[in-house]
């Protein structure tokens, strides 16, 4: 059975409201998990740093992030 997380985009809407939008801004997302929210606002933001303590989640984020977004790691 597939799990649908936040089908109404409530999380993204709340973040956009809190931040006043992401256009041209820099963002730091701590606990990005698989990146499911990160890549939704990454096109708007000037720069995004997304971190997660789980190597498995970071690997999953690399697999699911759209190809036009650049991912770097240190």
pLDDT along the chain (74 residues), means of 10: 76 93 94 90 92 91 86 72
Q: What is the pLDDT of residue 56?
A: 93
- Cα(63)–Cα(17) distance, integer angstroms: 28
Q: What is the pTM of this model?
A: 0.76
- Cα(47)–Cα(9) distance, integer angstroms: 21
Q: What is the pLDDT of residue 45?
A: 94
Q: What is the pLDDT of residue 69?
A: 83
Q: What is the pLDDT of residue 1?
A: 55
- Cα(23)–Cα(6) distance, integer angstroms: 22
| Phi–psi pair at 62, nearest 5 degrees | -60, -35
- Cα(69)–Cα(62) distance, integer angstroms: 10
Q: What is the pLDDT of residue 27?
A: 94
Q: What is the pLDDT of residue 52?
A: 92
Collapsing DSSP states into helix, strand and coil, what is residue 12?
Answer: helix
């Amino acid at each position: 059975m597939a799990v649908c997380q936040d089908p109404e985009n409530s999380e993204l809407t709340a973040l956009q409201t809190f931040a006043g939008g992401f256009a041209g801004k820099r963002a730091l997302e701590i606990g990005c998990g698989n990146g499911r929210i990160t890549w939704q606002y990454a096109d708007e933001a000037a720069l995004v740093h997304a971190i997660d303590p789980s190597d498995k989640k970071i690997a999953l984020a690399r697999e699911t992030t759209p190809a036009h977004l650049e991912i770097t790691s240190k």
